[in-house]
Amino acid sequence: QVKLVESGGGSAQAGGSLTLSCAASGNTGSSGIMAWFRQVPGKEREGVAALDSDGLTVYADSVKGRFTISQDPAKNTLDLEMTNLQPDDSAMYYCAAKWALLLPLTPPLAEDEYRYWGQGIQVTVST
């Protein structure tokens, strides 16, 4: 019903920048929540940033001030602008979404709140 496809991943040097994009297709709605998660081997999946259709955003402490999440409702795309990248940012990044008429008070960083997931895209940051 809904597909999410990430793009824009790859490699960057520490201190550099990358922008990830998530394109949504299928029976998408106009109201809901979207988020970026990341995971590395041996660690739990981490919520990075979340956004709702009212424009509220939530960031993990580890990326505050460096990452910016944004959405283009007309294109059904979700972007993650990453600046001042660090080696600890290296991970598989996933976009996630859930469309709903009623929104949480703040967009959550909990993975069990999301219904649709992309396949993931690798980001590697070198020193």
Instruction: Decide if 39 contacts 46 (C-beta within 8 A).
Output: yes
pLDDT number for residue 1? 81
Residue count (the chain): 127
Give the angle 65-95-67 at the CA atoms, nearest 5°: 10
The contacts of residue 11 (CB under 8 Å, 6+ apart) are: 123, 124, 125, 126
Closest Cα to residue 36, out of 63, 55, 12?
63
Q: Please give the Cα distance from 18 to 8 (Å, whole number).
A: 7
Task: Per residue of the chain (127 residues), give pLDDT as tens.
Answer: 899 999 999 999 999 999 999 999 998 888 999 999 999 999 999 999 999 999 999 999 999 999 999 988 777 789 999 999 999 999 999 999 999 989 999 999 999 999 999 999 999 999 9
